[in-house]
Amino acid sequence: MKKDELLKLLMNCNRCGLCQEVCPTYKVSHIEANVARGRNRLIRLALENQLNLDKEPEVEKIINECLLCKACEDSCPSGVPTPEIIASIRTHYTNTKGLSLGKKIMYRGVFSKNRNISLIRNLAWIYQKCGINKLVKFTGIFNKTDEMLPNLPPKNVRSLLPALIKKLPNPKHRVAYFLGCSVNNFFSSIGVASIKVLQENNCEVLVPEVNCCGAPHHSAGDMEEFKRLAKNNLKMLNNLDVEAIVFDCSTCGSVIKDYKNLFSGDKEYENVAAQVAEKVQDISSYLVSIDFNKNMGTISKKVSYHDPCHGIRFLKVKDAPREILKSIPGLELIEMQEADMCCGGAGSYGIFNPKFSRDILARKIGNYKNTQSDILATSCPACAMQLSFGMKLHNLNCSVKHPVELLAQAYEIKSL
């Protein structure tokens, strides 16, 4: 975004402070620099040449500490798009300074290439299984993330597809299922459940060969790589003869839905992106829209639901996952306080901002604990990773599940 456009957006912030109520970094710190109002103020001073963005490491830190969770924007009476403003400044940093080495390895080296994510996943799996994590810290990345990684499945989803995808005799619906990198590599049980649940509801499922949605690159301000990934995905998703492109990852869903803004003004891709966006559907919402099969077995458990930022504020999904949970016989849904507050995972946020991430997580887990439920459900693998980490950190013996995993389980119990 151009400087004067940014300034114009910033002027709309009349410093009312109402963002304090919802900004997670403010809630855990009570410090003005860590709320939309303070961040906007600093950026405005910089754009009005009263501060030099490039010579103030503290400002850069503050900019990077924003979760881009959008809570402020949604409750801002002046509609100030703080996350968008912050993302622009991050792009400025990436353009002028390049990515830090850690981020470069992490984003371009790992997320950008499907093969590398799988490779890392396999290495990580071996690493976890053999217990060498206790002996050596073998790369800079593992160093910081080993305890954040979930227990890894032995195989990724894509390699299981031949066995999973069934030919249905009389499919009523035809959908594409977007297999994102987190689900594919780290949470294969979610991917397996999604495919099974869709098939159980008489949907013929296509699984296009997509790559990373680009969320990590976007949040780091690496726009060049983000665009490259986006173009690849659009090519794979365009012109599919399906009624919906279904997502079990709220982050992938919202990022892809937003490609149309990324390419606004681009003749070649703008329309394609808009057409694809039309078909983006969160899996719970899609299931509700086709009146999903309610013939299920009983799961006698208490469950609470965490709204991923990308679910509630980007895709605007609120009721559908809850409806699914409530439809399962025996399952009791207990709402937690601040269910829609970011969990502090925010992609790779936790790796680069461990203190904030853990404080926000502690608050989230505290809210969950008060519900005294057995399962914490959520619709985004990025949140699932952070929340499972939280369970470990706070010594809770509760599982984190995607609503479709519970639904798949309920269907399975029925057919036993």
Partner 1 sequence: MVDKRLIDQLRQIVGNENVLTSKISLETYAFDASPYSGRPSVVVFPTTTEMVVAIVNIANEKNIPLMPRGAGSCLSGGAVAPDGSIVISLTKMNNILEIDPLSKIALVEPGITNKQVQLAVESYGLMYAPDPASQNISTIGGNIAENAGGIRGVKYGSTKDHIIGLEVVLPTGDVITTGNIHSHVEPELDLTYYFCGSEGTLGIVTKAWLALSPINAEVKTMTAIFGSLENAGSCVADIIAQGVVPTTMEIMDNIVIKAVDDYLKLGLPRDAEALLLLEVDGFSSDVKTQVNSIINAFATNHALSYKIAGNEQERQDLWKARRSVNGALGKLKPANIVHDIVVPRDRLAIMLEKVAQLAKKYGIIIGQVAHAGDGNLHPTLYYDHRIPEEVEIIEEACDEIIKETIAQGGTISGEHGIGIEKLKYMPLAFNKPTLHLMKKIKDAFDPKNICNPGKLLPQITED
Does 239 bind partner 1 (CB under 8 A)? Our answer is: no
> How far apart are CB 324 and partner 1 at their closest, in Å?
24
363, containing H or E segment: helix 354-371
- 69 vs 376, which CB is nearer to ligand SF4? 69
What are the respective helix, strand and coil percentages of the chain, to the nearest 5? 60, 5, 35
Beta strands in 296-406 (DSSP E): 302-306, 332-333, 375-378, 399-401
217 binds, among ligand SF4, ligand FAD, partner 1, none (CB under 5 to 8 A by kind): none
38 near partner 1, judged by CB under 8 A = yes
Distance in Å from the first CA to the final CA of the chain = 56
Close Cβ partners of 353 (under 8 Å, ≥ 6 residues apart) = 64, 65
Tokens of 95: 């353009």
Q: Which residues touch 78 (CB under 8 Å, ≥6 apart)?
A: 12, 13, 14, 16
CA 412, CA 333: separation in Å to the nearest integer?
Answer: 20
| Min CB(31)–partner 1 separation in Å | 7
φ, ψ of residue 207 in degrees (nearest 5): -125, 90
Cα separation, 320 vs 280, whole angstroms: 15
Site string (83-122) toward ligand SF4, x via CB under 6 A: x---------------------------------------
Residue 176's binding partner out of partner 1, ligand FAD, ligand SF4, none, with CB under 5 to 8 Å set by partner kind: none
Six token digits for residue 411: 């269907």
Per CB under 8 A, 76 contacts partner 1: yes
Stretch that binds ligand SF4, among 77-85, 174-182, 236-244, 347-355 (CB under 6 A): 77-85
Measured CA to CA, the distance from residue 89 to residue 45 in angstroms comes to 13
CB of 73 to ligand FAD, least distance (A): 16
Which of 31, 132, 136, 334: binder of partner 1 (CB under 8 A)?
Answer: 31
Cα–chain-centroid distance for residue 401?
Answer: 14
Q: Does the footprint of partner 1 cover residue 20 (CB under 8 A)?
A: yes
CB of 7 to ligand SF4, least distance (A): 14
Q: Residue 16 interacts with partner 1 (CB under 8 A)? A: yes
Interacting residues of 40 by C-beta distance below 8 A, sequence separation 6+: 10, 13, 80, 82, 85
Furthest C-alpha separation in the chain: 69
Contact flag: residue 370 with partner 1 (CB under 8 A): no
Contact positions vs ligand FAD (CB under 6 A):
16-17
Interface residues for ligand SF4 in 16-55 (CB under 6 A)? 16-19, 22-25, 36-37, 39-40
Residue 72 Cβ, how far from ligand FAD at the closest point, in Å? 14
Of 255, 355, 340, which is closest to residue 306 (Cα–Cα)?
Answer: 340
Which is closer to ligand FAD, CB of 17 or CB of 140?
Answer: 17
Contact range with partner 1 by CB under 8 A, out of 39-47, 150-158, 163-171, 277-285: 39-47
14 binds partner 1, rule: CB under 8 A: yes
Stretch that binds partner 1, among 74-82, 203-211, 246-254, 399-407 (CB under 8 A): 74-82
Residues 57-76 that bind ligand SF4 (CB under 6 A): 66-72, 76
CA distance 178 to 41: 39
Q: Which stretch binds ligand SF4 (CB under 6 A): 79-87, 179-187, 261-269, 367-375?
A: 79-87
Write down the H helix ranges in 51-146. Answer: 57-64, 71-75, 82-97, 101-104, 114-130, 140-145
Question: Are 219 and 347 in contact, with CB atoms under 8 Å apart?
Answer: yes
Q: Note the residues at the interface with ligand SF4 (CB under 6 A).
A: 13-19, 22-25, 36-37, 39-40, 66-72, 76, 78, 80, 82-83
Q: Note the residues at the interface with partner 1 (CB under 8 A).
A: 11-18, 20-21, 30-33, 37-38, 41-42, 45, 51, 56, 58-59, 62, 76-79
